[in-house]
Amino acid sequence: MLVVRVQVICVLRLAKRVPDPLQDSLLSANNANQFMLVHFLPIPRHKTISSWSQGSSVTSVLTPRRSHAVPTFTPFQYIAFQGFLQSSLSTTLSIKSHIHGRLTYMSNGRFAGKGVVVTGGASGIGKACVERFLKEGAMVAIVDVSEVNGKKAIAELRRKGLSKARLIVGDVTSSRDVKRIVKEAKAWLGRIDVLFNNAGILVMGTIEHVSEKDFDRIMAVNVKGVFLMSKEVIPVMLKQKKGVIVNNASCSGLVGDRNQIAYNTSKGAVVLMTKCLALDYCRKNIRVNCVCPGEIDTPMFRQEAQSLNKPIEEYRKELCKVHPIGRIGSPEEVANTVAFLASEDASFITGTALSVDGGITCE
């Protein structure tokens, strides 16, 4: 017989005085903007802790070796008890996590306990992906050439209660930097389950206007960067006998665009590098895919408008018309797709170039 049949979600404010870094772990463990969500489930009379904590993020850890029979609670007693259990559990886990420096904090997201590396994670699509991975339980190494933007991103994430991200400043075009980046990321994360090769730049112009230097630079960041990062990370994944790489290509890697000779050439290369890597490593339990976004509202989009000497809003309207869906995309919409490809939900997908483009490549 059920004592309570209603389902209530109680939001408990976390004690702000918990000292850092314990507070970090408490906050990130729950991924809920400084709030701890406690699910209040129907409580069967005389059931055990393990059986009625199902569905809460503490289920797996709470399940005691020896089950304790518990008395029937009123709803408010239950909420208080559950809150107490969660906070003591989080504290214990965070201490453990700091002792081992590893992925021991709790979460029930798709990336719980996973180590993720995101290049170009300080801005735009990369930053949205970092947030998404963190919210789904991962620890994330943000790799970016911009220390200033990287620090800003980390601070912004911390304000949202997402603290399991670390900045590694480096340039993906330098093999020396990349070796150091991967070494540092591996040391901090313990393992690298997901690599999102996202760092990229845009150079606009026809062949008459793009200089050799600009061409070399865009190929170095957009293509060589993916090559070098994958080259260093794949041996780590081979040792783990598992891994996922997602590359950020573009709809410009699937079709031609006017005035973008260098950019489209680089993104076309990313699409084919993705397919080659997928073939080479699919029997080694490493999946490799890429996303092909249409126009996305990021600093790169604003840079595009600027280089065409167009006011942002005018350019936005123009591009909204060009996309069959009638608008441009958000970084979060790309993050949804990246997280899908990186997750077990996409376990049979490798070598694909998945368009996230509001239909722009249909025509």
In the chain, which ranges are E strands?
Answer: 8-13, 35-40, 115-119, 139-144, 165-169, 194-197, 243-248, 286-293, 353-356
Q: Closest CB to ligand NAD among 193 and 297?
A: 297
Express the helix, strand and coil content of the chain in percent, nearest 5 each. Answer: 50, 15, 35
Matching residue, tokens 């993020």: 57
Q: Cis peptide before 331, with omega less than 30 degrees from 0?
A: no
Cβ at position 26, least distance to ligand NAD in Å:
29
Task: Pick the closer one to ligand NAD by CB: 94 or 198.
Answer: 198
**Least Å distance between CB 194 and ligand NAD?**
16
Least distance from ligand NAD to the Cβ atom of residue 131, Å:
13
DSSP 228-239: HHHHHHHHHHHH
Residue 117 backbone dihedrals phi, psi, to 5 degrees: -115, 130
What are the catalytic residues? 263
How far apart are the C-alpha atoms of 14 and 248, rounded to whole Å? 37
CB of 87: closest distance to ligand NAD in angstroms?
A: 36
What's the min distance (Å) between Cβ of 234 and ligand NAD? 19
Q: Which is nearer to ligand NAD, 136 or 144 (CB)?
A: 144
Please state the closest distance from residue 310 (CB atom) to ligand NAD, in A.
15
CB 267 within 8 A of CB 255: no
Nearer to ligand NAD, 94 or 173 (CB): 173
Instruction: Look at residue 206 and give its three-state secondary structure.
Output: coil
| Residues found near ligand NAD in the complex (CB under 6 A) | 119-120, 122-126, 144-146, 149, 171-173, 198-201, 221, 225, 248, 250, 293, 295-296, 298-301
Q: What is the CA radius of gyration of the chain?
A: 23
**Between residues 122 and 157, which has the closer beta carbon with respect to ligand NAD?**
122
Residue burial 177-207, b: 16+ Cβ < 10 Å; e: rest = bbeebbebbbeebbbbbbbbbbbbbbbbbee
Nearer to ligand NAD, 139 or 199 (CB): 199
Structure tokens at 131: 């947030």
Are the CB atoms for 296 and 124 separated by under 8 Å? yes
Using CA atoms, how far apart are residues 305 and 292, in angstroms rounded to an integer?
Answer: 20
